Structure 1
C-alpha cells in the first residue's frame, strides 16, 4: 500500500461502509479508526445507492400494476433484507435499553442482549408503519428519485451519530471505533448536499406538488432538518443516559432519521 493511500484510505473506507451497512459480501480490508471514520462519512452515499435500488424496484412494481400500498410493503421488506435488518435490530436494542429505567451499566447490558423486549418490538413496528405509509404516498405520486433521496438522508443519521465530541458508551465495539470520528464539516457538507439533491429530485420527479416558488427546496430542507434533528436528539439522550453511543444507537439513529425524512418528503 502506498504512503498516500495509507494517509487517506478512501477506497478502504467505502468498502467498509458497504460491507457494514449492506449485505454486499465485500472484503473490508483494513479496519482502524481512520478507515472507520471514512466509512461512516460515506454512509449517506451508501444510503443513496440503497435508495436507488428501492426506487427502481418501486418503478418496476408500478409498471406491473401493483398498487402503492403493497408496493410500499415490498420496499420496506426489501430495505430490511438489503441491510440484514441490522439497523432495525439496533433500534429495538436501543429502545429496550432506554425504556429500562435502570443504571447505565444495566441498560447497556440490556442493549447487548440478543432478546427483544416489547418496547423494542413496538419501536420497529412504529418505524416500519411510518416508512410504509410515506413510501405509499411517494409511490402513488411516482416520486422515484425522492425515494432515493430519503434513504440518503436516513443514512446521514449514522454520520451524525459519529460526529466529533460524541463519546462512546463502551470501550469496545463499533461505537468505540467510530464515535467522535467524523468532522462536523463533513456532516454539514452532506446535509447541504442532500438538501440540494432532495430539491432536484422533487423537481425532476414529474409529480404534481406545490406550485409556489421554492416549494421543492422547502420540502427537501424540511426532510434533512427533521431527519438530522431526530438523530441528534437521540444521541443527546443516549449520551445523557448511557454516557455515549454504541453501534446499536447508530442503527436507531438511521431508522428514525429515515422514517422522519420519508414522512417529510411525502408531504404534498
Structure 2
C-alpha cells in the first residue's frame, strides 16, 4: 500500500515523495483509487482562502483566483496540460492516430489554449461565489475531492489504453467496476454527511445541503464519464492526457453544480 500512496502523490501532486519500490497493476489501480486523497494540500488551502473571503479580509474574486493558482502549483498544472492536449487532439481531425500524435507534442494550439482559459474562467466565477461563505466553501471542497474520482473512472476495467505507452497504458483496466462504484458511493456518503452536519451548525437546511453535496459528487463524476466516453470513442482508449482532461472537466462541472446548490438553498 505504501507504493500506491507514493505513486498517487508522486503522480498527481508536486509534493516530494519517495519512488515506489514496486509498480504493478495492483499498485497502479490502488493509486488511482487513492487519487482523491491527493487533494488534501489544495483542500486545506481552499478552506483557508474561504475563511479569508468569508470574513471580508480579501475580495472573493481575488481569493478565487488564488485558489486556482495554488491548486495548479500543487499539481504542477498537469491536469490543465492534459485538457489542452486533449482539446488540440480532438480538434485536429477524426483520425485517431493523428489526434494522438498532436496530443504527444509539447506545444499548445488555439483549441488547447481556449479550453484551458474557458475552464479557468468558469472555475474562477464559481469559486468567487462559493468561497464567500462556509457552506459554499464546503461544497467547493466536495467538488475538488470528487474531481479526482476521474482517475478511477478512466482506469475502470473494460476501458482500453489509446497507445502502447504512457500513463494510460499503465492504469487502463486496473480499477474494477465494484471498486469504482464503492469509491463513488463512499465519497458521496461522506460529502453528504459532512455538509449536512456543517449546515446544521450554521442553521441552514441540513438535509437539503447534504443532498446537494451528493448531487455535486454525482455531477462531478458525470463530467468525468462524459469526457472519458468521448475520448474513447474518438481515440480508441485513454491516455494520461485524457485523465487530466477528465479531472478538469469534472472539477468545472462540480463547481457549477455546487454554485447552483448554494444559490437555491434557503439559507447560505
TM-score by length of 2: 0.89
Matched-pair contact (CA < 8 Å) for 1:227–1:261: yes
In angstroms, what is the RMSD of aligned CA positions?
1.8
CA distance in 2, matches of 1:232, 1:176: 18
1:138 correspondence with 2:130: yes
Q: State the Cα distance separating 1:149 from its structure 2 match.
A: 1.8
Per-residue Cα deviation, 1:231-266 (whole angstroms, up to 9, x for no partner): 111111111111100000000000111111121112
Query: Any gaps of 5 or more consecutive residues in structure 2?
Result: 264-268
Please give the residue correspondences for 1:69-218 in structure 2 after superposition, counting only pairs within 5 Å. 69-143=61-135, 144-203=137-196, 204-205=198-199, 211=205, 214-218=207-211
CA distance in 2, matches of 1:104, 1:80: 29
Counterpart of 1:263 (choices 253, 256, 261) is: 256
Alignment partner, residue 15 of structure 1: 6
CA distance in 1, matches of 2:108, 2:250: 21
CA distance in 2, matches of 1:31, 1:166: 20
CA distance in 2, matches of 1:259, 1:225: 13
1:31 correspondence with 2:37: no
Extract structure 1 runs of 4+ deviating beyond 3 A.
60-64, 205-209
Query: Any gaps of 5 or more consecutive residues in structure 1?
Result: 1-9
SS of match in other structure, 1:261: helix
Distance 1:141 1:254, change over 3 A: same
Matched-pair contact (CA < 8 Å) for 2:53–2:131: no
Matched-pair contact (CA < 8 Å) for 2:41–2:74: no
